[in-house]
Amino acid sequence: MDIVYRDDGRPTLEQVVALYKTMAWSSADKPRSLHAGLLASHALVTAWDGPALVGLGNAISDGHLVVYFPHLIVHPDYQRRGIGSQLVRMLMGKYRGFHQQVLIADGRAIDFYKKLGFARAGATEPLWIFEGHEHDCRPRRVMMRPHGSDDGLRGGFAGLVVGGAGG
């Protein structure tokens, strides 16, 4: 397996949607918006096995102080090979020294991100309006769940940050 990592990759709409469908992510149901959003990200890092897109991560940032990492996805056949870790390290390297590096994680992803240096930010709670189905949310409603809660489905949410919390 010779995985090639790129910080200048521009995957096609078809490649992105195919990858997202392997994980049943609801954003694949909005293919044009998903693709346009990824390409408009402040940073997009990709992992390739030959011509196949096998993973990606992106960042949204003000370019100076705060960065949010909304997506990290690795094809199921390529998971547990260090690809996700490498993509996160590439993104974190680009934003080293920023006051906040923020993401939202659930389920087993929490431990994955903790191993990379992320930690729960004090008593913070993630709040969002989410139109998907992966996180046990109802469309167009704000959901707040305590860290560590477990409804038997996916586990609790935790807002994780690297760096200082708050303003």
- 144-148 CB contacts, 8 Å cutoff, 24+ apart: 147/120
**Domain segments of the chain: what residues?**
1-96, 99-167
Region of poorest pLDDT, from 60-69, 73-82, 156-165: 156-165
CATH fold for domain 1-96 = Aminopeptidase (3.40.630)
DSSP-derived secondary structure letter, 64: S
pLDDT tens digits for 30-57?
999 999 999 999 999 999 999 999 999 9
CA angle 62, 133, 105 (to 5 degrees): 45
For residue 100, what are its two tokens?
A: 């906040």
What pTM, to 2 d.p., does this model score? 0.79
CA pair distance 167, 152, nearest whole angstrom: 34
pLDDT tens digits for 98-124?
999 999 998 889 999 999 999 988 888
